[in-house]
Amino acid sequence: MLSPTVNVKWHGTGIPGDTPANDENREFPIKGLLLKKQNVILLLLCFSGHSANTEAADDAGELNYFQELPVVLSASRLYQPLSEAPNAMTVIDQKMIVDSGFRNIPDLFKLVPGMYVSYYKGSQAIVSYHGATDQFSRRMQVLIDGRSVYMSPNNTVDWANLPITIDDIERIEVIRGPAAASYGANSTQGVINIITNDAGAVDGKHAKYTRGNKGINDADARFGRRGETYDYRATLGYTADNGYDNLTSAPFQDHRLLNNSNDNNQARLMNYRGNYHPDGANSFDLQFGFNHDIQGVGFNDKNPTPAAPTSTNGNPFHDLIANTSFVQLGWTRALENSSELSVRYYHIQEDQSEAFPVYLGGVYYPGPVVQTLSVGRDQLEVQHTLRTSESNRLVYGTNYQTNTVNGQSVMPPLSLALSSTSFTEDLQIFANDEWRITKRLLLNIGNMFERDAYGNKDMSPRVSLNFHVTPQNTFRTGISVAYRTPALAETNFPAIQPGALIIPSATATSPALIPEKMVSREVGYLGEFPDWDTTLDMRLFSDLLSNGIFPDTTTGIFVNGMSAEYHGFEATLKKSWNESGNLTVNFAHEFASSNAPALAAAGYSYMQPASSLVGGDKLAESLPLNNVSLLYSRHLTGNYSFSTAYYYQSSLQPFDRGWIDFQPQQHRTDLRIARSFEGAAGFKGNVALVVQNLFKQNYSEYIASNVFNQRAYVMTAINW
C-alpha cells in the first residue's frame, strides 16, 4: 500500500472526497483538516464549472470502486488519492514515526527523498530541499495544522521552539516541489504540512519517558476524552539534551569557529485541542499551546577568559531564551451537494532574548549586550469547497495575514541602543480545480494571486495532468511557478535578531529586493502492485531559479542576481510482508548549476569557490549528488518488534560556510528494538531501545565540529 495513513473506498460518484455530510466529523474525522494550509487574501480566480460528463463520472466510479485509495489533503486543498495529486508527495505516517526511533521532529525528514537534514548547532535544525542552501532554509514552507510556522525576520523555522511533541503528530505530508498555487510565496522548494492528532484521537491517559546518553532526558504526558458532542486532548512535555560533544575536528584545532560545544537544549511545552460537533453539519475546533525553550548558543574560539581574552569572538557562549505561544480557531460547515465552508483564524507569538559579553577592537566588555526580538502573526482564512458537476470539483478562498516584528539591542559598553519595528500585510486569493475529463485522465489547475508585504503582486499558476494507464499505474506531468518573498533580515540588513551581535554599518542599506522566482517541471509515475504488496513512486524534475537573493560581502548587503537550475530523479519503493514486515526505500540523484562562478569573478566574495568539486560552482557543491534512506520494520514473536534504518548522503560543501566545514559523505545505521506488554484494567505499554549510528561511522554536520557519533536511549511508554 501507499504510505498515507487514511485508506477509504468510495462507492458512488467516483469523486474522491465525496462522503455523506453527516459522516464528516464522526466517521471521517480528517474532514476538519481540509482547510489546513497557510497565508493571506485578494484577487479572484474562478474556474468555470465544466459541463457534467456522465460517461466520465461513470468511468471514474468504475476506476475508483475497486481500489483502496490512500488520501492526501495538502497538494491542492482537496481530498485526493495520492495517484491524483498534482504534486509529488511523501507521507510520513505514525508507524514510520515510531519505527524510525527519532525523538526530534526534523530528523523525520531524512525519510523524504531529496531532503537535506542537518544542524547548525545541536538545537538548531536545518531542513531543506535541494541541499544545504544556507543556515535558514528560506525556500521551504512549514505548516502545523495549516498554521504557518515559517516566521520573520529570517523567514525560517525554529524547530526547537515548536509547541508540539513528536507523539502529537498524526502524519506529515511533504510536497516535493513548488506549491505556491495552494500556499503562495515562500514555498518555492516545497511544503511540509504537519497534521497533529485529532481532538478525539486520545481517549485515556498516556505517559512516556526517554533517557539516554548525550544528556537525553525527555518526558511527556497526554490525556484526552471523546464525548458525544465534544472531544479534547492535551499534552505536557519536557525535552532536554546536550547537543554535540565538545569535539574539535583535527587538523583544524586553531580555526576560531570550531568549538561549538555550548549547544544544549531544554524545552517545556503544552498544547490543547478541542472539537465541538453539535450536529452533523458544524464542527468547531480550538487549539492553543506554549513552548519555553533555552538553547545554548555562541562559539568559543581558543577559550578566551575575562582576564585574558585571546580572540575577536563577538558571539561567546551564552543562553538564548525563546517563548512561543499560539491560539487557533476553526469552523467547518457542511453545505448542500457535498460543499463545505471553512473559516480559520490563528495568532502566533514568538519572543527571544539573550545577554552576553563581547570582545571588540582589542577590548573585553563584561557588561552584557542585551538583544530581544518579538514577532507576532495573525491570519484569517476563508475557504469554500464545492462540486460544480459530476466530473468537477473546485476549492477557492482567500486569506489575510499581518506580521509585527520588533527588535532591540542595548550595548552599554558602546553606549548604543538600537531598535527596529516592522509591520507587514500579506493578501492571497487562491483557487484549485480538479476536472475528471475521462476515467483515465484528470486535470488539476490551480492559481494564487498574492500581494506580499513589500507590495509585490505575483501570480503562481500550476497545471498538472494525471493519466491512469490502469487503476494501479498512473503517470503525472506538471508545470508550476512559485515566488519567495525577501526576508526582513535581507531587506533590512543588518537586522536586529538574537544570535548575532548587531553593529550598525555606514555602508549597509536596504536594497530594493524583488521576489525570487522558481519555475518547476516534473514527470512522475506511481505504480501499485497488489500481488507483491509493493508500490513504486518515481519522479523526474527540472527547477529553474531566477532573481535569487544572496549576500554580497563586498558591500555587506543582500542582492538579487543569482540564477540556478536543479535537475534530478527521485524514487520511493514500499514493500509489505503480510502485515508483519515493511520496507521503505528512498533514493534521490540530483545535480545543480548556477552563475555563482560569474558572480565570484565579479567580486562577490561570498560566492568564491570553496573547493574544486564541481568546477567552482559553490551552489552546485552544496547539493549532495546522491541521497538514500532505508527503513525496515518487523513484528517478532513474544510481543517483540524491531526496526532498522540506513541513511547515506554524498559529500557536499554548505553554501554559506567556508572550506573548513566541507561535509564528507555520510553513512549511518540506526536500530530500534521494542517489547509491548499489557496489564490489568486495560493497562498497556512498551519499552524500546534505540541506538543511532550503530556502527560508529561518525560524520560531521554543517559545521565541522558538529560530529555525530553514537547515541543510545530507552523509551518507556504506558497507556491506561
Instruction: Decide: 694 and 671 in contact? Cβ < 8 Å.
Output: yes
Strands 581-594 and 557-577: antiparallel
Residue 41 CB contacts under 8 Å (≥ 6 apart), including other chains: 380, 381, 398, 399, 400, 427, 428, 429
Task: Classify residue 201 by its DSSP letter.
Answer: S
Q: What's the pLDDT score for residue 160?
A: 92
**And the C-alpha cell for 397?**
478562498
Task: Classify residue 652 by its DSSP letter.
Answer: B
Helix (H) or strand (E) holding 711: strand 711-719
Apex 660 CA angle, 129 and 311, nearest 5: 120
Average pLDDT over residues 588-613: 70
Q: What's the pLDDT score for residue 288?
A: 98
The candidate with the shortest Cα–Cα distance to 396, out of 35, 33, 126, 23, is 35
Strand locations in 242-298 (E): 265-276, 282-297
The confidence band for 76, taking pLDDT boundaries of 50, 70 and 90, is very high
Distances (CA, A) of 611 to 114, 253, 661: 23, 20, 11
Strands 340-360 and 318-334: antiparallel
**Percent of the chain clearing pLDDT 90 (strictly above):** 60
The candidate with the shortest Cα–Cα distance to 453, out of 38, 36, 40, is 40
What does pTM read for this prediction? Answer: 0.88
- Quote the CA–CA distance of 1 and 83 in Å, as a whole number: 12
**And the C-alpha cell for 35?**
482547510
Lowest mean pLDDT among 22-31, 395-404, 463-472, 494-503: 22-31
- Counting Cα atoms < 13 Å in the Cβ hemisphere of 47 gives 29
- Quote the CA–CA distance of 330 and 382 in Å, as a whole number: 10
Lowest mean pLDDT among 154-163, 260-269, 550-559: 550-559
How is domain 13-719 classified at the architecture level of CATH?
Beta Barrel (2.40)
Lowest mean pLDDT among 431-440, 506-515, 565-574, 630-639: 506-515
Instruction: Decide: 298 and 262 in contact? Cβ < 8 Å.
Output: yes
**Per-residue pLDDT reduced to its tens digit, 220-252:** 999 999 999 999 999 999 999 999 876 554 444
**Per-residue pLDDT reduced to its tens digit, 104-140:** 999 999 999 999 999 988 888 999 999 888 888 888 8
% helix, strand, coil for the chain, step of 5: 10, 55, 35
Apex 518 CA angle, 585 and 173, nearest 5: 35
Instruction: Decide: 707 and 245 in contact? Cβ < 8 Å.
Output: yes
The candidate with the shortest Cα–Cα distance to 584, out of 100, 117, 132, is 100
- Quote the CA–CA distance of 163 and 235 in Å, as a whole number: 10
The candidate with the shortest Cα–Cα distance to 386, out of 430, 343, 334, is 334
Residue 501 has pLDDT above 90, yes or no: no
Number of H helices, E strands in the chain: 6, 35
Task: Classify residue 96 by its DSSP letter.
Answer: H
- Quote the CA–CA distance of 449 and 85 in Å, as a whole number: 21
Strand locations in 61-165 (E): 69-72, 80-81, 89-93, 115-121, 124-129, 140-144, 147-148
Distances (CA, A) of 614 to 367, 579, 655: 46, 45, 13
**Percent of the chain clearing pLDDT 70 (strictly above):** 80
- Counting Cα atoms < 13 Å in the Cβ hemisphere of 481 gives 11
Tell me if residue 540 falls in helix, strand or coil. strand
Helix (H) or strand (E) holding 58: helix 54-65
Q: What's the pLDDT score for residue 32?
A: 32
Residue 607 has pLDDT above 60, yes or no: no
DSSP 354-389: EEEEEEETTEEEEEEEEEEEEEEEEEEEEEEEEEEE
Apex 222 CA angle, 218 and 225, nearest 5: 175
Instruction: Return the number of other C-beta atoms located less than 10 Å from residue 682's C-beta.
Output: 9
Tell me if residue 18 falls in helix, strand or coil. coil
Where are the chain's structural domains? Answer: 13-719
The candidate with the shortest Cα–Cα distance to 380, out of 146, 85, 567, is 146
Give residue 536's Cα distance to chain centre.
23
Instruction: Decide: 521 and 462 in contact? Cβ < 8 Å.
Output: no
Distances (CA, A) of 505 to 275, 495, 502, 609: 51, 11, 9, 26
The confidence band for 36, taking pLDDT boundaries of 50, 70 and 90, is very low
Q: What's the pLDDT score for residue 493?
A: 67
Instruction: Decide: 348 and 288 in contact? Cβ < 8 Å.
Output: no
**Per-residue pLDDT reduced to its tens digit, 176-228:** 999 999 998 888 999 999 999 999 999 999 999 999 999 999 999 999 999 99
Residue 502 has pLDDT above 60, yes or no: no
Query: What is the identity of the amino acid at 565?
Result: E
